[in-house]
Chains A and B, each alone.
Chain A
């Protein structure tokens, strides 16, 4: 029971963190079809901005500065780079953002060094929110989860209840029609990209205070955000939330699972044979916990390519 509750709690919060980072990408990917490989690196920039602000003007100004600065970077990148490359196809966009990821990582290493930096939340936030089965639950995890939920709520309301959101959603499905109706489509795209990037920056500023902030942040999250977006469905905000929670819970629970395929086969009496064969069959789920998102992505892509809640093919 204890294991279940703790794992569920951890899984949910981890999932919410994933959502925070991927929310922007699902909008960008879904609406513009841009495979922004550098999205996890926007997250990294946000964390480093948070770090710099904490050392100079304070933690909370950092949470405001990060999304603004990263959003501004997003605007510049979209306006001067992605727009040029868009007509050459998906591959060019992907490769451009791949190159950008390199540049961002190297420039950050130039200014901040190769080692992780000590970006920490203010002292008054470092306490345990509650104690469960003798394990303290840090308040900051709840804070992160809370920020993620607020982001979801704001985005959802924005997309469904405002005029701007209506235009954005229309542009996802019928961009040329929206343009024909007189809306400035390039500005809409630029706005979406900026908001998406800004969100990643905010996620970085918030999460970077909890997790180690270092030059490997981009690489660590890089492919996982793609998994979330694909599994959830391109362009679907609710799908991204669902997928993040699913992945977070899955990774959290599988850690405690010291069972392998061989043990499963043991239920039907083939256990000994499977153990003898070895190799993949004796791999315990807990050992490969971090690879399960990719398996999930594969299954979704093969059986339901639109994603869990997506509605585009």
Chain B
């Protein structure tokens, strides 16, 4: 973890550029994609908040969905009160109540959880989230039972919030603000203490700090921003139910953080945004998308342990000047080989799905047990013809054969690039 430096001019420029691009998105995207962008921003904030506890303080929390859900329900109750004219509260400030609820829950749960470390800490957080998950459906007054709580956004500050675009800008504002807070936290003494505790807790304790209190506070701050993310989700969906507390949701944020790279600041946000979008898009394209998602998880854990953010960070840190030009060709080769292998695997899996499905079995029965051609992507394939299987085998074979060569070329290119960077 690099020591937090003041932002360079170049970094500042990139941040402003990024914010400008994000602000301009609703002007060019369709409403459905704006909705997707809202969800991606929320997932990114969740991952950033989680990464505060995980990446910075080394606390693997496996039940962070508890604070996400608590933030969401707190926001929903407030919105219901506003809707019923019991209370007057501007809609843009609703995430504040999510933050408060998350902070309180984080203090209470965190105080218990941080009495243990490592794997035990993870188990405690898991148990707390599971308890909430199993109790919530029965606690109707707070969690609305199985169908949850539903409400409507009320207009505030000259915005009607009936349009997703308004919700997008609200979400963007809060996510940017929270991200800035989280970034700034890294430079504070508390933030540095969190890193110290991750590296060597005993030593920190010997220096006189109350590590239990410190870890509770860091955890509570992480829970606070998670609560903000939950509140933003409640505003976007105008409803939530107890399934927000599921282990699935907790596990998803951990996965997204690591795919993005737990060691960098923006890595988790990147991982969250990409995986959210991936799930949304592929779930409509293919029924086997969970299999692809599982494969991605396994492959990233095996071959890209620092995550994609870590990968990018490595390039930025170690390559200077025009050294990157050495890598262009090998990377193009990598992409080509990757596409070949992906094409082969996808074809194989999709074909297997069709061939093993009930509809195809019915077709075969209709043809008296004969092996009939199957449909995929609008084309017909004969399962027994070698041509069909070569469509899968050939790309895989070529890709696989080129893999060692590609690896070697990339390594060579890297050493050349590093040499040049050193000069």
- Direct contact between A and B judged by beta carbons closer than 8 A: yes
Q: Which listed residue (B118, B130, B262) contacts A90, Cβ 8 A?
A: B118
Contact stretch, chosen from A61-69, A182-190, A246-254, A283-291:
A283-291
| Contact pattern, B 349-365, Cβ under 8 Å of A = 1, otherwise 0 | 10011001010000000
Q: How far is the CB of A173 from chain B (nearest CB, A)?
A: 16
Q: Which of A291-313 contact B (CB under 8 A)?
A: 291, 294-295, 297-298, 301-302, 305
Pair A88/B353 contact, Cβ less than 8 Å: no
Q: Does A100 contact B (CB under 8 A)?
A: yes
Interchain CB contact under 8 A, A33 and B305? no
Assembled-state Cα–Cα distance A92/B358 (Å): 37
Chain B window 292-311, contacts with chain A (Cβ cutoff 8 Å), 1 for yes, 0 for no: 01111110011001000000
> Is B247 positioned at the interface, with any CB of A under 8 Å from its CB?
yes
B91 to chain A, nearest CB (A): 28
Contact B127 A301 (CB under 8 A): yes
B131 touches A305 (CB 8 A): no
Choose from A81, A280, A291 the contact partner of B302 (Cβ within 8 Å): A81
Give the distance in Å from the alpha carbon of A279 to the alpha carbon of B143 in the complex. 10
CB-CB under 8 A for A100 and B294, given A110-B352, A223-B130: yes
CB distance from B259 to the nearest CB of A (A): 9
Binary per-residue interface labels of chain A (72-109) against chain B in the complex, 1 for a CB within 8 Å, 0 otherwise? 00000000010011001011101110111111011100
CB distance from B270 to the nearest CB of A (A): 17
Chain B: which residue is nearest A80 at the CB level? B302
Residues on B with C-beta less than 8 A from A85 are 301-302, 305
Q: How many residues of A contact B (CB 8 A)?
A: 44
Determine the chain A residues whose CB is within 8 A of the CB of B305 once the complex forms: 85, 88, 92
B123, B142, B301: the one contacting A95 at CB < 8 Å is B301
Contacts of A301 in B (CB 8 A): 116, 120, 123-124, 127
Tell me if B358 and A113 are in contact (CB < 8 A). Answer: yes
Q: Which of B65-73, B100-108, B132-140, B220-228 contacts A (4 or more CB under 8 A)?
A: B132-140
Cβ-defined contact, A91 with B288, below 8 A:
no
List the B side residues contacting A43 at CB < 8 Å. none
Q: Are B352 and A96 in contact (CB under 8 A)?
A: no
Contacts of B120 in A (CB 8 A): 230, 301, 305
CB contacts under 8 Å to B, within A209-251, are 222-223, 226-227, 230
The answer on a CB contact under 8 Å between B123 and A297 is yes
Minimum CB–CB distance from B111 to chain A (whole Å) comes to 11
Answer whether residue A58 sits at the interface, using C-beta atoms and an 8 A cutoff: no
Name the A residues within 8 Å of B140 (CB-CB): 279
Cβ of A235 to closest chain B Cβ, rounded Å: 12
- Given A92-B258, A92-B305, A99-B301: A302 and B54 interface contact (C-beta under 8 Å): no
Say yes or no for A35: interface residue by CB 8 A criterion: yes
Complex-state Cα separation, A230 to B293, whole angstroms = 29
Could you name 7 residue pairs across A and B whose Cβ atoms are closer than 8 Å? A96-B302, A280-B139, A288-B134, A298-B128, A301-B127, A302-B112, A302-B124
Q: Contacts A110-B353, A226-B126, A298-B124 known; list 12 others, CB within 8 Å.
A: A85-B301, A88-B305, A91-B54, A91-B254, A94-B122, A96-B298, A103-B298, A222-B247, A230-B120, A283-B139, A287-B138, A290-B134
